[in-house]
Amino acid sequence: MRIVEARVIVTCPGRNFVTLKIVTSDGVSGVGDATLNGRELAVAAYLQEHVIPALIGRDPARIEDTWQYLYKGAYWRRGPVTMTAVAAVDTALWDIKGKIAGLPVYQLLGGRSRDGVTVYGHAFGDTAEALLSDISRFVAQGYRAVRVQTAVPGLPSVYGVGKAGETYEPASAAVPPESVWDTALYLDAVPRVLADVRAEFGPTLKLLHDVHHRLTPIEAARLGHSLEPYALTWLEDPVPAELQDGFRLIRQHTTTPLAVGEVFNTVWDCQQLITGQLIDYIRTTVVHAGGITHLRRIFDLAALYHVRSGSHGATDLSPICLAAALHVDIAIPNFGLQEYMPHAPETDAVFPHGYHFEGGYLHPSETPGLGVDIDEELAARYPYRPASLPVNRLTDGTLHSW
Ligand code: EZ4
Ligand code: CO
């Protein structure tokens, strides 16, 4: 069997998504997510110009060899654009292998290690009341874990906190919108809010908070320490993680568990974090970390060091990525949590899928392969619209992180 065709599909059903579809000489096809939020067309061009010509004629069964070929053969290793393109190919080939075997992909990964994939939802509120009622909404649906993001009095807007009644979408304008950031106000507000939330919901609801890379290590250490009474399941992205050693400083000062990795692309981005036991959860996921093949390599390394998975799963990762992530989550021994933001109805319609949510768990599809597809006719009705993530400036105008 040979790969006879591969096509890149760019669509915007509520937000932008890039998809790779690979077709074999036997007429079996597979899909892979290739979406890189705010940089979609860079990946589309990488696939179209540099990857697809080299795929035609290859044996689709050779997943590992194709991964190595695309990673090493490019000469220019790693990086989000390259690794998202590699991930798309890898995911599509696992989909094809599952369809040919007549098995859901998780069976090819060793079968189930658990009954369901525990997910966390995104609660936010611009007032304390709105936040508590948003969390109650998740609890009522059976969620066991909730990420809590709050407005900061004195700041007009905060990343991750939407307006009441609106669906939250981080990439909102063609050119990055700018907002104002003040660390002192933030560090003052967050512990008070988490105290209220813990008091209201009791000890068993898992609470998480995402800092979105906005602190320095010593500021993050202080925040982690001040949140200890409220027993967070994790504090996410406390600092930008180019300097993996930065986490050592945070770790020395707090027992609040740490999670990081949604922007990582390879095992090399988290090697010190994992082997130094500087984190508790690694947030890499299929689409941005080289596909199922490489993600499993990261999670296997993590398992040796008591680090559990906590894969990224915001709405800019397409239903194809979520479907693939669930096959990994259900199979690996060291699964921790899976992020879950339901997609918009238009998105779900473009990507018909068999995974489903029930009582706080997501369940992967039981159909052969990934159990997800793209409706290309419907996708064509939603043309690409440029969108960017926002940036922050400090009150004096200095550019800050996010
Ligand atoms: O900012 O997916 O934990 N989740 C997040 C997300 C990310 C977006 C970036 O594309 O931080 O909301
Ligand atoms: Co995050």
CA–CA separation, 381 and 12 (whole Å): 9
Element (H, E) at 18: strand 17-24
Helix pair angle (80-101, 319-331), 10° resolution: 70
The residue to which tokens 């939603």 are assigned: 382
| Helix, strand or coil, per DSSP, at residue 311 | strand
In contact, 150 and 114? CB cutoff 8 Å: no
pLDDT of residue 222: 98
| Beta strands per DSSP E along 129-278 | 145-150, 178-181, 206-210, 234-236, 258-260
Terminal alpha carbon distance of the chain: 46
pLDDT of residue 166: 72
In contact, 354 and 365? CB cutoff 8 Å: yes
Q: Counting atoms of ligand 1 from 1, which one is nearest the CA of 283?
A: 3
Degrees, nearest 5: CA angle 102-112-307: 130
| Beta strands per DSSP E along 51-127 | 117-125
Element (H, E) at 73: helix 63-73
**Could you say which ligand is closest to the alpha carbon of residue 80?**
1
Full-model pTM: 0.97
* Strand 145-150 with 117-125, pairing: parallel
Ligand 1, atom 4, residue with closest C-alpha: 314
Q: Counting atoms of ligand 1 from 1, which one is nearest the CA of 171?
A: 10
User: With left for phi above 0 and alpha for psi between -120 and 50, is residue 228 left, alpha or beta?
Assistant: alpha
Ligand 1, atom 5, residue with closest C-alpha: 314
Query: φ and ψ at 53, to 5 degrees?
Result: -55, -35
CA–CA separation, 338 and 285 (whole Å): 10
Element (H, E) at 207: strand 206-210
The answer to whether 212 is a known catalytic residue is: yes
CA–CA separation, 291 and 90 (whole Å): 5
Looking at 159, 186, 361, 382, which residue is catalytic? 159
Query: What strands lie across the sheet with 3-11, from one edge to the other?
Result: 3-11, 17-24, 29-33
For 173, other C-beta atoms within 10 Å of its C-beta total 12
Q: Which of 214, 144, 208 has the alpha carbon at shortest distance from 179? A: 214
The token duo for 260 is: 């990081």
In contact, 83 and 266? CB cutoff 8 Å: yes
pLDDT of residue 402: 59
Q: Which of 209, 212, 341, 388 to mutate to test ligand 1, by most ligand atoms within 8 A of the CB atom?
A: 212
pLDDT digits (tens, 9 = 90+) for 176-210: 989 999 999 999 999 999 999 999 999 999 999 99
Pocket lined around ligand 1, Cβ cut-off 6 Å: 37, 170, 210, 212, 262, 312, 314, 316, 339
The answer to whether 306 is a known catalytic residue is: no
The token duo for 195 is: 């105290």
Residues of the chain with pLDDT under 50: none
pLDDT of residue 173: 86
Query: φ and ψ at 369, to 5 degrees?
Result: 85, -150
Ligand 1, atom 2, residue with closest C-alpha: 314
pLDDT of residue 3: 98
In contact, 315 and 169? CB cutoff 8 Å: yes
pLDDT of residue 381: 98
Query: φ and ψ at 153, to 5 degrees?
Result: -55, 130
Distance of CA 212 from the midpoint of ligand 1 (Å): 8
Q: Which of 360, 355, 327 has the alpha carbon at shortest distance from 343? A: 355
